[in-house]
Amino acid sequence: MCRSIRTLRRPDRPATAEEIEAAALQFVRKVSGYRQPSKVNRPAFEAAVAEIAGTSRRLLDSLQAR
C-alpha cells in the first residue's frame, strides 16, 4: 500500500517507538490523502496515528518467533 512503510518486525532488534509512530503516520497520510490535515481535522488525524501505533505495538509484542 505504501512503499515508504518499512517492515518493523526484525529478528535482530525490536522496533522503536519512533519507528512505529512513523509507520502509523505514513499509513494515516496514505489512507486520509492528507500530508498535513487542516486544523479542524487534526484531532481525528492525530487520534488515528496514536491508535494505529498502539495497535502496531501490540501486534509486534504478541507475535511469536518462527
Question: For residue range 2-60, what is the model confidence (pLDDT) as tens digits?
Answer: 566 677 887 788 889 999 999 999 999 999 999 999 999 999 999 999 999 999 999 99
Cell numbers found for residue 34: 492528507
Per-residue model confidence (pLDDT) at position 4: 64
Per-residue model confidence (pLDDT) at position 24: 95
In this prediction the pTM is: 0.84
59, 53, 61: which is closest to 18 by C-alpha? 53
For residue 24, count other CB atoms closer than 10 A to its CB.
21
